[in-house]
A = this chain, B = another copy of it.
Amino acid sequence: MNNFIFENATKTYFGKGCVKEYLAFLSGQYGENVMVAYGGGSIKKNGVYDQVMECLKKSGKNVVEFSGIMANPTYAKVLEGAKLARENKVDLLLGIGGGSVMDCCKAISMAAVYDGDIWTDFWERPGIIEFEPLPLGVIVTVAGTGSEMNGGAVITNETRKIKTGRDYPKCNPKFALLDPEYTYSVPLKQMVSGSFDILSHIMETYFSLPDEDNVSDEISEALMRSVIRNLRAAIVNPLDYTARSNLMWDATMAENRIIKLGKRTDFQCHQMEHQLGAYTDCNHGAGLAVLHPVYYRHIYRDGLSKFRKFAVNVWGICPDQKNDEELARAGVEALADFIREIGLPSSLRELGVDEKADLKAIADSCAISAGSYRKMTHEEISEIFKECF
């Protein structure tokens, strides 16, 4: 194991009925002004909104609502939320939704108390937070980003066409409520793309140095097998509680820093998808599904021993009569097959990206990961995008 520092301050409440059981107690630990933040309103259809509002009102809270947080939350939206929080002297920010809502809320929790410009000081480049962000609690309704148990937030600056993620431990939610039954109403397509996002987070961590025996990689393999098995089960029966609850906890475990300990991590695919998303507003999980196999066909020879392990330990491919390169490649193709099996797109064309899209400009805007087995150039990223069509 390489050296690392671990901390995780989020207290996590997991399981059916947890919101009903704990929200009143948890919100009771903060002042009376609560800002409830959410997205497009799906929580009003599935009953989550009513349940939360009833609880907060019974607890005597003054509730201000902030809705309309979009799929790739913008910096403009962050500033709008921060203004509302200041005006209403908010004591607790309560985000209800998936990664976009949670990420937007983390940025709001900073912008609501910081006097400068948080984009310039903390997103454009990493900064040191010397203030206490507004306390944040989250209620998760979609399994995917795992944003509930870290300080990470991916924000899109529309003016500059940049989508950037930062992870500040001070932005960790104070509490997270995860009820797997809340994910039942997520449409199949979104459930699948969210689950692929989980798998992507794990792969982006696993496929990076060090390659020698380490506990984090061993746990990553366990989580990948769990995601694959449980996603298959959840597609067959979306009301399979075992499958949905496992996927929900897989998502959190993939991003609560545990599997990253002692690892460099790559996240080159996420960097590419972020820029694709910034330019085309494509679905995050679906974009990742298109990019991953093509990217791995470019780099697997540089991380042969790990891709070999991936084939055997994650996909159960028998190593007999295959040399290392054949075995490694078979693992990448098993991933590509799985993507087709679960109904995610395998090309940018399927994803609906316009053929006239300026792929070179998108490629040139991608951040280059230092953690990959081979450092990409903007030219190679541009090639990868072309191969994805």
Contact = CB atoms under 8 A, between A and B. Distances in A.
Interface of A: 1-18, 180, 212-215, 218-219, 221-223, 225-226, 229-230, 242-243, 245-246, 248-250, 253, 258, 261-262
Contact of A5 (B12, B212, B248, B261): B12
Contact of A14 (B5, B250, B258): B5
Given A1-B180, A13-B5, A14-B3, A229 B213 contact: yes
A166 to B, nearest CB: 20
Tally of this chain's copies: 2
Given A14-B261, A213-B246, 16 more contacts: A1-B14, A1-B15, A3-B15, A3-B17, A4-B15, A5-B12, A7-B12, A212-B242, A213-B226, A213-B229, A214-B242, A215-B222, A215-B226, A215-B250, A215-B253, A218-B225
Contacts of A226: 213, 215, 218
Nearest to A258: B258
Nearest to A224: B218
A213 B225 contact: no
Contact of A3 (B9, B18, B243): B18
A18 B1 CA distance: 13
A309 to B, nearest CB: 13
A148 to B, nearest CB: 11
Contacts of A219: 219, 222-223, 253
Contact of A223 (B8, B12, B213, B215): B215
Nearest to A13: B5
Contacts of A242: 1, 212-214
Given A9-B9, A219-B222, A221-B222, A261 B246 contact: no
Nearest to A245: B1
A215 B249 contact: yes
A20 to B, nearest CB: 12
Nearest to A220: B222
Contacts of A222: 215, 218-219, 221-222
Contacts of A223: 215, 218-219
A269 B343 CA distance: 47
A65 to B, nearest CB: 28
Nearest to A215: B249
Nearest to A10: B7
Contacts of A225: 218
Contacts of A14: 1, 3-6, 261-262
Nearest to A241: B1
A271 B295 CA distance: 52
A16 B262 CA distance: 12
Contacts of A229: 213
Nearest to A15: B3
Nearest to A149: B6
A6 B1 contact: no
A249 B221 contact: no
27 contacts: A1-B14, A1-B15, A1-B180, A1-B242, A1-B249, A3-B14, A3-B18, A4-B15, A5-B11, A5-B14, A7-B10, A7-B11, A9-B9, A15-B262, A212-B242, A213-B226, A213-B229, A213-B242, A215-B223, A215-B226, A215-B246, A215-B250, A218-B226, A219-B219, A219-B222, A249-B261, A249-B262
